[in-house]
Amino acid sequence: MPAPYEALLLLGGNIGNPKLILSQAEALIEERAGRMLSRSRDHWTEPWGFSDERLFLNRAVIIETELAPEQLMEVLLGIEAELGRQRTDTERYTPRTIDIDILLIGEQMIDAPSLQVPHPRLHERAFALAPAADVAPLWVHPKLNRTVIELLNDLRPPE
């Protein structure tokens, strides 16, 4: 069993009751994956990569876990399925009840078929960076050597 480590996760969804579903996801994460250390405020955002009339609720959490990163991903995918997430091979960006992504695991870099850390599109997505900045503004993206808050600021046009 690996030593405990902290993982930054992003939860999001726009089908059903997102507040309730994200709260259920948090409880299951704490039960099956690790202790919740912090949680962002709620961020309501437009869909990314597709059009839908429903806003997404996004929330970042930091957990402490002893699961190997690949095991953690398996647990999170199981929680998604239990909460009604249906994945298809045909469409990548669709409405969903829940999505749980691993954004960062400290300074680790993982490039496996089932898991990429840091999340490969983290630096492109304000909907992920804004909640992450609530709980981990100074965490450093190990490939880009930029903090979460710097990455978020990079996305915003200068005023």
Catalytic (active site) residue 111: no
Cα end-to-end distance, the chain, whole Å: 48
Catalytic (active site) residue 89: no
The single residue of 32, 41, 99, 121 carrying the catalytic annotation is 99
Is 111 in contact with 120 (CB distance < 8 Å)? no
The single residue of 89, 101, 125, 156 carrying the catalytic annotation is 101
Cα separation, 129 vs 133, in Å, equals 6
Length of the chain: 159
Catalytic (active site) residue 134: no
Residue 48 parent element (H or E): none
The single residue of 96, 121, 146, 154 carrying the catalytic annotation is 96
Catalytic (active site) residue 85: yes
Is 143 in contact with 151 (CB distance < 8 Å)? no
The single residue of 32, 39, 41, 85 carrying the catalytic annotation is 85
Annotated catalytic sites, by residue? 85, 96, 99, 101
